Amino acid sequence: MRFGNGRFGFRALSAALGLSLALLAGGTQAQPKKEFNIAWTIYVGWMPWPYAADAGIVKKWADKYGITINVKQVNDYVESINQYTAGGFDGVTATNMDGLTIPAAGGIDTTILIIGDFSNGNDGIVSKTAKTPADLKGESINLVELSVSHYLLARALEAAGLSEKDVTIINTSDADIVAAFKSPDTSTVVTWNPLLAEVMAEPGSAALFDSMQIPGEIIDTLMVNTEVLKDNADFGKALAGIWYETMSVLTDPGEKGKTARAAMGVMSGTDLAGFETQLAATKLFATPQEAVAFTESEDLIKTMDLVRTFSFDHGLLGAGAADKDAVGIAFPGGQVLGSTDNVKLRFDASYMKLAAEGSL
């Protein structure tokens, strides 16, 4: 069941009610299962998933562990995470912040199994008038409120000594942000690629801040349901196997890599050149060793503290959250940020480690 096209709240609501009734009938008990569904949406860091499915890499690894993995596209990013949260998928591609604020804050124990990359210029603030973040004082800014764009803006304002009170934020859906920027009364937008490239192409626009200035804070991951993973370690192993085999193809300097990148470009609605431009603004963890080092570093804990502070300040941890400690976040090595009784988001390096050791 789909939630509709994501535009009409009423339809989504009625579908949500129907879905929950269906879930109730089906029960939510975890048991070893053979078939798994993961959802992906179009974004440069997630294109390896559909490519792996097309190229047979998914089937190869699933067969090795005797399971079936379905890789399904969802058109709307937030909808894909909502579907995962409602139990429609066992895994989903999402950013660290959305993983914390949607499934984890919604009580779904979620494990970040693979850290694929972080945005290194793929998210940016573009303006027709302002030249630096300090110039934003008094401006109206169009962005998808409560998304990583909002987080990026908050970080930029903070760096310039301003606060959100100094600007007017106009919530604008990502589908309309490019058209919005063409309107004469819109001066500044915050968005991500490929939309960022579109607005940058507008005459007279200049980027004044991008994710390169906050490296490692907007992280693109594959997250899975912790219960499902606990009962099915093979599912996690297969996913790690798929990912790093696909990475080796993607980063291949020869013809093989070029063909793969071109295929991913076409799947995301652009071409080889467009895809490589986006890839250049992405810090890809090409090897499991790099990803493990990033997941185990102290910097990740600092990042998640910034992210959970922002999330709490904006009410994203839910009305029931008394403070930013309400939702616990676990890191490799047993460190926990926030409530140890309510750990709902877990960074797990063990499957990436298996890939690094070549023991999958």
Nearest to other proteins of 201, 319 (CB atom):
319
Q: List the one residue out of 89, 109, 91 whose CA is nearest residue 100.
A: 109
Sheet holding 123-127, edge to edge: 140-143, 188-192, 123-127, 206-210
| Three-state SS at 348 | coil
Q: Which is nearer to other proteins, 143 or 360 (CB)?
A: 143
Only one of the segments 209-217, 273-281, 314-322, 349-357 lies at the binding site for other proteins (rule: CB under 8 A); that segment is 314-322
Output 81 or 300, the one with its CB closest to other proteins: 81
Q: What x/- string results for residues 185 through 224 when contact with other proteins is judged by CB under 8 A? A: xx--------------------------------------
- Count of residues binding other proteins (CB under 8 A)? 52
Rounded distance, CA 151 to CA 132, Å?
17
Task: Using alpha carbons only, give the angle 212, 213, 215 rounded to the nearest 5 degrees.
Answer: 60
Degrees, nearest 5: CA angle 21-25-27: 115
Query: Chain-centre distance of CA 31, in angstroms?
Result: 27
The yes or no reply on residue 316 touching other proteins (CB under 8 A) is yes
Does the footprint of other proteins cover residue 32 (CB under 8 A)? no
Q: How far is CA 154 from the centre of its chain?
A: 18
Question: Min. distance of Cβ 34 from other proteins in angstroms?
Answer: 23
**Of 4, 215, 257, 318, the one binding other proteins by CB under 8 A:** 318
Residue nearer to other proteins on the CB measure, 174 or 296:
174
> What does each C-alpha distance from 61 to 113, 151, 253 come to in angstroms?
16, 36, 24
Residue 106 makes contact with other proteins by CB under 8 A: yes
**Residue 129 binds other proteins (CB under 8 A):** no
Interface pattern 167-186 for other proteins (x via CB under 8 A): -xxxxxx--x--xx-xxxxx
The per-residue DSSP string of 303-339 comes to HHHHHHHHHHHTTTT-TT--STTSSEEE-TTS-EES-
Scanning 153-161, 166-174, 257-265, 267-275 for contacts with other proteins by CB under 8 A, the matching segment is 166-174
Residues in 1-30 at the binding interface with other proteins, rule: CB under 8 A:
7-10, 12-13, 16-17, 19-21, 23-24, 28
Q: Which is nearer to other proteins, 179 or 273 (CB)?
A: 179
Which two structure tokens, joined as six digits, stand for 130?
Answer: 């302002």
d(CA 104, CA 111): 9
- Dihedral (CA of 251, 252, 253, 259) sign: negative
CA angle 298, 302, 306 (to 5 degrees): 165
Contact 19, 86 (CB under 8 A): yes
122 binds other proteins (CB under 8 A): no
Among 120, 147, 191, 246, the residue binding other proteins under the rule CB under 8 A is 147
127 binds other proteins (CB under 8 A): no
CB-wise, 279 or 345, nearer to other proteins? 345
Q: What is the Cα–Cα distance from 239 to 106, expressed in whole angstroms?
A: 24
**Among residues 139, 164, 231, 296, the one that binds other proteins under rule CB under 8 A:** 164
Contact residues for other proteins, defined by CB under 8 A? 7-10, 12-13, 16-17, 19-21, 23-24, 28, 78, 82, 85-86, 101-102, 105-108, 142, 144-147, 164-165, 168-173, 176, 179-180, 182-186, 313, 316, 318-320, 342, 344
